[in-house]
Amino acid sequence: MWKKIFRSGSDTKEDAAALMNSINRENLPRHVAIIMDGNGRWAKRRGMPRTYGHNAGVKTLKKILKTANSLGIEVLTVYAFSTENWKRPHTEVDCLMQLFAEYLDREMQEMNEDNVRIHFIGRTDAFSPLLRDMMTKAETMMAGNSGIHFNVAVNYGARDEIVRAVQSLMSMSKAGEMQPEDLTEELFDASLDTSGDPPVDLLIRTGGDLRLSNYLLWQCAYAELWFTDTNWPAFSPEEFLRAIQDFSGRHRRFGGLDDE
């Protein structure tokens, strides 16, 4: 299994098994979120169009999903398209839509065999009926799987998600189904797109920037942050494991004090 994932390129340089063994399994993140940044810059450095970087980014995503699933991580949430990404040239937006469709078409079967449960979060209603149909088909096909819960954030913005949650809660209140004082953190959490998932334990951002970019703002309240200069297409399973290893050695206090 590990040989298969780590087979190519620089991934063979380190002993993946040793890295795996050094991870404290008692302290794995339950939910890992990733901002997959740097596709465009990676491509530009190679004298290629940005879309070349997105294509390479899909290959990275496949490897990281397999690694996270094998490790026993419960939830992986990746930022594939933000509510702000519509501002990009339409050729790039079209390419990304095409990539999502191709990815689903090509990978759905294998993800299902790997016991992955896919779920799309964000305003999916903005996509073409064909793409929406493919997303629903993939979700339905994998709904009963017990492996990693793989959230793909598309047309996603955390502020937008929060406003939609508030809207639905206000509608319930208006219909007399709840009173304002009934609102709890748990109920609010259950009104978000990630309903049912544990909070994000570890947020990874590739590409060198140190910001959250409107991603999972509620869910990341106590997330540990891990930034790398590596651009997403060059992000390897080894580097992912290093982030997990780093997390597994961290001590989280959640606002409390260290034990004596």
Footprint of ligand FPP on this chain (CB under 6 A)?
36-41, 50, 54, 57-58, 61, 80, 85, 99-100, 103, 152, 207, 232
Q: Which residue, 113 or 209, has its beta carbon nearer to ligand FPP?
A: 209
* Least gap, CB of 26 to ligand FPP (angstroms): 31
Closest residue to ligand FPP using C-beta atoms: 40
Helix spans in 72-215 (H): 90-113, 129-142, 158-174, 185-190
Q: Which is nearer to ligand FPP, 36 or 234 (CB)?
A: 36
Please give the single-letter amino acid code of residue 126: A
Per-residue DSSP letter, 119: E
Which stretches does DSSP call E strand in the chain? 31-35, 75-79, 117-121, 149-153, 202-205, 224-227
Residue 232 in contact with residue 224, Cβ under 8 Å? no
CB-nearer residue toward ligand FPP: 40 or 147: 40
Report the residue number, 6 or 120, with the smaller CB distance to ligand FPP.
Answer: 120
Catalytic (active site) residue 246: no
Please state the closest distance from residue 212 (CB atom) to ligand FPP, in A: 14
| 258 given a catalytic annotation | no
Buried b (16+ CB within 10 A) or exposed e, 196-234: ebebbbbbbbbbeeeebebbbebbbeebbebbbebbbbb
> What is the nearest approach in angstroms of ligand FPP to the Cβ of residue 79?
7
Q: Smallest distance, Å, CB 88 to ligand FPP?
A: 8
Length of the chain in residues, anyone?
A: 260
Looking at 37, 193, 197, 201, which residue is catalytic?
37
DSSP 8-class letter at 156: B
- Catalytic residue selected from 27, 85, 145, 214: 85
Q: Catalytic amino acids?
A: 37, 85
